[in-house]
Every structure is written in C-alpha cells, then in structure tokens.
Amino acid sequence: MYCLAVDSGNSFLKWAFFKNGRKLELNRVSNRELHNLYSDWRLLRQPDTIVVSHVSGHDVQNQLAQLFNMWNIQPNWIKALPRQCGVINNYTDPAQLGSDRWAALIAAWNKFRDACLVVNIGTAQTIDVLSSEGVFLGGMIVPGPYTLKKSIQYATQISLENDNYCFQIFPTNTTDAIYSGIIQALVGSIERTMRLFQQCQGYSIKHCVISGGGHAELLPHIDLKYIVIENLVLEGLLLIAQNKERY
C-alpha cells in the first residue's frame, strides 16, 4: 500500500510517503509556500490512500484539496473518534479533540502500550496523558516558545529576535528574564503534569514522548526521562490509514 500522510499544522505542513509502512519520502513546507508541494507530489507514484490531519484554517484546507486533485482519490481528513487503534478518547465531545493530538496519541500508544505523556511543541504546546490502559485522560494546550516570544514582543515592544538573550536560573537583565520565564513556564507545565498524574492515578508515567519543531529549546531544561520522536503525528496517521484496530 502506498500512503501519503499529511500533517497540516498552524505554521508548517509535514508530509511523508510510505510503501507498505516503510517511509520513502519525508519533507515539510511553510503554510505560506504550499504551492511548492505540487512539484514534489507530482513526482510521487499515485497513492492508494491519503490521510490528513488538518488543524489550520480553511484557506490552507482549500489549497490542499486542490493539490489532492492531481490524483483520482478521496483524501481521509481524519477526526478524533471515541476509540481507534487501541486508544480510548475521554474528551467530553471526542470529535473536538484536535486530529493532530489524536494521531500523536495513537502513535505513542502503539509504540509503548503503557502510560505516556505525549508532548508536542510547536505554535502551541500540547501535553496529553495516556493511562496504562490506553485511555486518553485529557490534556492541556499552552502557547509554544515562538508564540510566547511574539506575544511578549507585541505586549511590551521588547524584542527577542536578535539572539540577545540566554537562559539563566536567576536572570539579571530583562531579555534574559523574559526568555528564562518562557522556558521555565513551558518546562514547568510538562513536569507538573507528570507529578499530578502520579498523585491522581497512583502510579508513575514511564514514557514522556516529545515531538514538534520547537522542542530543541526546551530539551536541555527538562528534568525527567524523555524520548524524542520526530513526526509523531505522521506515524499515527499511517497507523490510522492501515486501520490496525489493535485492542
């Protein structure tokens, strides 16, 4: 089976082309340059299936729909389900869970089959919790590193764009204070979620899975065991496309 998996995020689109589960191509493009996909995709063999996680706006979705028209195939724009690929969705309205978060949870569960903290660091930072039974217990969304930097700049006119700052435990100038505060807040939300899980569930999470384009800034400051899995959403999309209902 040839599968085109597309992770359409708020700022970037990532895609992978698989043959029988083996990755043949992998790339990403800014949402401002989606037109460049045509030259890449027209070189691909026609996929048997196209599976898409889309969390960006309607304009991006319309552009993608036009690009998919180069093949005579209907894309699968996934939505979170009450249960799929071994994961049980505990959201009050399961369909409201972002498709990217759902695909990432499916990928993490099918890799570890154990309690997981699934963290994706991009335009937003999502922190989602899987129980040892494969139940998505819930999660949180906070602004990611880049978004927080731009927000501070907009609110205070203090720029963090010239690399004139660094992380300090006790910062002694304003730009270091802002940047260090951003790092501490984002890392703190991850570590606090880990502690609260143990308090509420009575056992520890063994696996913290981190993905997303903004993770590099946070990793040196995370004081817990973690594993980085690039393109976690794409891996989950492949599982969904393969329809491996493994309970």
9 annotated as a binding-site residue: yes
40 annotated as a binding-site residue: no
Contact 24, 45 (CB under 8 A): no
8 annotated as a binding-site residue: yes
99 annotated as a binding-site residue: yes
11 annotated as a binding-site residue: yes
72: DSSP letter: S
53 annotated as a binding-site residue: no
101 annotated as a binding-site residue: yes
91 annotated as a binding-site residue: yes
167 annotated as a binding-site residue: no
Tokens of 205: 């999470």
49 annotated as a binding-site residue: no
Contact 217, 183 (CB under 8 A): yes
114 annotated as a binding-site residue: no
100 annotated as a binding-site residue: yes
210: DSSP letter: E
189 annotated as a binding-site residue: no
Torsion of CA 102, 106, 108, 109, to 10 degrees: 130
14 forms beta bridges with: 7, 28
Long-range (24+ apart) CB contacts under 8 A made by 63-71 are: 63/34, 63/35, 64/6, 64/8, 64/13, 64/34, 67/34, 67/37, 67/38, 67/41, 70/38, 70/41, 70/42, 71/46, 71/47
What burial class does residue 20 get, using C-beta atoms within 10 Å of its C-beta: 0-12 exposed, 13-18 middle, 19+ buried? Answer: exposed
- Rounded to whole angstroms, the Cα distance separating 189 from 140 reads 9
In the numeric block, the tokens 């969390």 are attached to 55
Active site residue 100: yes
Q: Which of 48, 93, 100, 114 is catalytic?
A: 100
Q: Please give the annotated binding residues, written as ranges.
A: 7-14, 91, 98-101, 123, 174
Q: Please give the annotated binding residues for substrate, written as ranges.
A: 91, 98-101, 174
Q: Please give the annotated binding residues for ATP, written as ranges.
A: 7-14, 123
What residues act catalytically?
100
